[in-house]
Amino acid sequence: MQIQPASSLRGTVLLPGDKSISHRYAVLAAMAEGSTTIRNFSNSQDCQSTLDCLQQIGVDIHRREREVEIQSQGWTEFQQPTRTLDAGNSGTTIRFLSALLCGSSFASTIQGDSSLNRRPMQRIIIPLTRMGASISAHKDEYPPLHISGASLQGIHYRLPLASAQVKSCLLLAGLMARGQTVVEETTPTRNHTELALPFFNASPKHENGGIAIEGPVSLKPVQMEIPGDFSAAAFFILAALLLPDSEIHLAGVGVNPSRTALLALLEQAGVRLEQTNTRLSNGEPVCDLTVRHSRQLLDRFPAQIQGEWIPNLIDEIPVLAVLGTRLKRGLAIRQAEELRKKESDRIHSTVLNLRNIGIRVEEFPDGFAIPPGQQIGGGRVQSLGDHRIAMAFSVAGLIGLGPVEIDDPACVSVSFPGFFEVLQSLVVKS
Ligand code: S3P
């Protein structure tokens, strides 16, 4: 896929439903007894992996375009799968499904593709084992996970790292456990699970220093609607801000503050996107966004991002790096070692590809630094099977001096099938 420099972006962006929220509503619907309808469900491969795994444990799934109907007899009636569950490329799928398998009365195995099978699982194995399940893993860390379900017991767990996947995995297990499960976070992460639970008849409380669930809980089915995916929107937002004369419209974007640190950073640079039709959808803040080219962005965007900012823009860091190539003061990302544990080692894959397109960058164990005063020349990008790398460096192609060739462009389907078509529909050629 070759991306040519563009002069501007103009038009309307149709976003996929939010991937994080789609996983959560699907799993909660499967745990509930009855029929749940979910509108604007993500068309990503990752969310399809979650639906496929749920089907394998006896849940009925009917998909119609952007809507999914999930029919279940409730989490006490999950069936032993007849084969190994396949979470594909999706960390969220394996971590959420593991909770469900731990709280069921059968033995099962779950694994992923070659990328997922290299990602760390101790972070869920330790607390789920404390709750009473037994899990064995390759080298005690990696999938496949062999799980013997058990009658779980609530625990009080302080997360040793900032991870919404781990937090949510434990809240899901807490729904099936006897007694109270408390999950304490030291750094706040996305709170979609906490917001969704009351709609399914569970009431998490802020108690005992964390988020508390009193189990076991019988979940109720409900009608839910999913906002547009902010992490998918980020590529278009930054491209439109950078390209002169751009104006794009994104309808129904999820703007939950636990996801939109990027907007807060833009505001620090004096760039406020036009937000209209602001509303709540199943507790999730949503609005329509209009994005126009901004001149001041390059002068005033923060030059160093670290600490508490990182979890709330974790998936936007590759495209922030592309923005960083243009910033007047450069850009350093630090304390972001978790990036090395994503679909690819995203510190390595970002640094490698910045160099591939002619950018000087220094790599650190916990991030990277891009010196100011550079221009993207163009070149060949290695996606390394990572959807966010492929999409971030497509933005590099739009804003650079020469074309950028993206290898394995099909990997974008992991979160955003049709990404390149949407992008091309907006491009005004230079
Ligand atoms: C996600 C949480 C984040 C994020 C991932 C989706 C979620 O992962 O990077 O894309 O849906 O909870 P971690 O919780 O592992 O940081």
Q: Mutate which of 165, 338, 340 to test ligand 1's pocket (most atoms within 8 Å of Cβ)?
A: 165
Quick one: pLDDT at residue 373?
84
Q: Is the pLDDT of residue 328 over 80?
A: yes
Which residue has the least CA distance to atom 6 on ligand 1?
20
Quick one: pLDDT at residue 280?
98
Which atom of ligand 1 has the smallest separation from the CA of 189?
A: 14
Q: Give the catalytic positions in this structure.
A: 315
Q: Which two tokens stand for residue 42?
A: 């993500």
Residues of the chain with CATH 3.65.10.10: 2-16+228-429, 19-225
Domain 19-225 has CATH 3.65.10.10: yes
Which atom of ligand 1 has the smallest separation from the CA of 231?
A: 10
What is the distance in A from the centroid of ligand 1 to the CA of 90? 10
- In angstroms, the CA 216 to CA 110 distance is 24
Which atom of ligand 1 has the smallest separation from the CA of 193?
A: 12
Q: Within a 10 A sphere around the Cβ of 402, how many other Cβ atoms?
A: 14
What would the pLDDT profile of 66-77 be if each residue is shown by its tens digit? 999 999 999 999
Q: Mutate which of 314, 338, 340, 389 to test ligand 1's pocket (most atoms within 8 Å of Cβ)?
A: 314
What is the band of 429 on the pLDDT scale with cuts at 50, 70, 90? confident
- When pLDDT is averaged across residues 9-24 and rounded to a whole number, the result is 98
What is the band of 297 on the pLDDT scale with cuts at 50, 70, 90? very high
CATH of domain 2-16+228-429: 3.65.10.10
What does pLDDT average to over the chain? 97
Q: Within a 10 A sphere around the Cβ of 198, how many other Cβ atoms?
A: 13
What is the distance in A from the centroid of ligand 1 to the CA of 2? 29
Q: Residues with Cβ within 6 A of ligand 1?
A: 20, 23, 91-92, 163-165, 168, 190, 314-315, 338
What is the distance in A from the centroid of ligand 1 to the CA of 229? 13
- In sequence order, which residues have a C-beta less than 8 Å from that of residue 306 and are 6 or more positions away? 332, 333, 334, 335, 336, 367
What is the distance in A from the centroid of ligand 1 to the CA of 312? 10
What would the pLDDT profile of 352-392 be if each residue is shown by its tens digit? 999 999 999 999 999 999 999 899 999 999 999 999 999 99
User: How far apart, in Å, are the Cα atoms of 130 and each of 34, 127, 255?
Assistant: 31, 5, 35
Rounded to 10 deg, the angle between the 122-130 and 164-176 helix axes is 20
pTM exceeds cut of 0.95 = yes
Q: Where are the alpha helices (DSSP H) in 79-163?
A: 91-102, 122-130
Nearest to 31 by CA among 107, 90, 93, 103: 103
What whole-number percentage of the chain has pLDDT above 70?
100
Which atom of ligand 1 has the smallest separation from the CA of 338?
A: 16
Q: Are 49 and 22 in contact (CB under 8 A)?
A: no
- When pLDDT is averaged across residues 408-419 and rounded to a whole number, the result is 98
Q: Is the pLDDT of residue 203 over 70?
A: yes
Q: Are 263 and 301 in contact (CB under 8 A)?
A: no
List, in sequence order, every residue forming a beta bridge with 2; answer none if it has no partner: 405
Quick one: pLDDT at residue 430?
67
- When pLDDT is averaged across residues 163-184 and rounded to a whole number, the result is 98
Q: Is the preceding omega at residue 216 within 30 degrees of 0, hence cis?
A: yes
Q: Within a 10 A sphere around the Cβ of 251, how many other Cβ atoms?
A: 15
Q: Mutate which of 20, 94, 192 to test ligand 1's pocket (most atoms within 8 Å of Cβ)?
A: 20
Nearest to 190 by CA among 312, 315, 21, 287: 312
Quick one: pLDDT at residue 260?
97
What is the band of 347 on the pLDDT scale with cuts at 50, 70, 90? very high
